[in-house]
Amino acid sequence: MNKELAKMQLELKERQSVINREFVQKNKNIFRILDILLILAIIFNASCLCLTHALVAKTTPDIILAETNPVASVAYDFNPAPILEGIAYVWYALIIWAVMAAFYISVRAKVTSYIDLTLLCATVGFLIVLNFTNFMNDFGYLLGKWL
C-alpha cells in the first residue's frame, strides 16, 4: 500500500513538473519580465538601504565609527561597537532578499495555471511597488537636500 502511494505521488510530481515546464515555455516572456522585476526589487531595496545610511551619516555627521571586531578594536586601538546595529541591518536585508528569492523560485517551479501565474505576478508587482516607492522617497529626499 505504501509503495503504491509513493509511486502515485512520484507520478503526480512528475506530471506537475512536465505541466510546469510546458506552461513556462508557453509563457516564457512573462516569466522573463517577472525575473527582471524581482532583480529590480532587490536592487531598489539595496539602493534604498545605501541611501538611507548615507542620509543618516550626512544629517548627523558627529557619528563615531566603531569597530565590530573586538580583536581588531583592541589591536588597532579603535572604538569597539557597543551593538552591531549596522551589521544587523545588512543581515536583515540579506535575509529579506533571500526569502524573496527563495519564495519566488519555489513558487515559479510550481506554476501550472494562469491563476497561479496571476498570483505570482501580483506578489512580484507588490514587491516592486513597495521597494520602488521606498527608493523614490529616499532619492527624492536626497535630491531635496542637494537642491
Mean pLDDT of the chain: 79
Range of the domain at 69: 31-146
Domain count, the chain: 1
Give a yes or no: residue 100 inside a domain: yes
Task: Report the C-alpha gap between 13 and 3 in whole angstroms.
Answer: 15
Report phi then psi at 122, rounded to 5: -65, -40
In this prediction, residues 120-140 reach a mean pLDDT of 80
Q: Residues 95-106: what's their mean pLDDT?
A: 85
The CA distance from 77 to 131, in Å, is 39
The predicted model gives 69-92 an average pLDDT of: 63
Among 32-36, 92-96, 122-126, the range scoring the smallest mean pLDDT is 92-96
More confident of the two residues 70 and 135:
135
Let me know if residue 6 belongs to a domain. Answer: no
In a domain, residue 17? The reply is no
Q: Does 36 reside within a domain? A: yes
Please indicate, yes or no, if residue 129 is contained in any of the structural domains: yes
Q: Examine residue 21 and state whether it is found in any structural domain, yes or no.
A: no
| Residue 24 burial class via C-beta count within 10 angstroms: exposed 0-12, middle 13-18, buried 19 and up | middle
By three-state DSSP, how is residue 46 classified?
helix
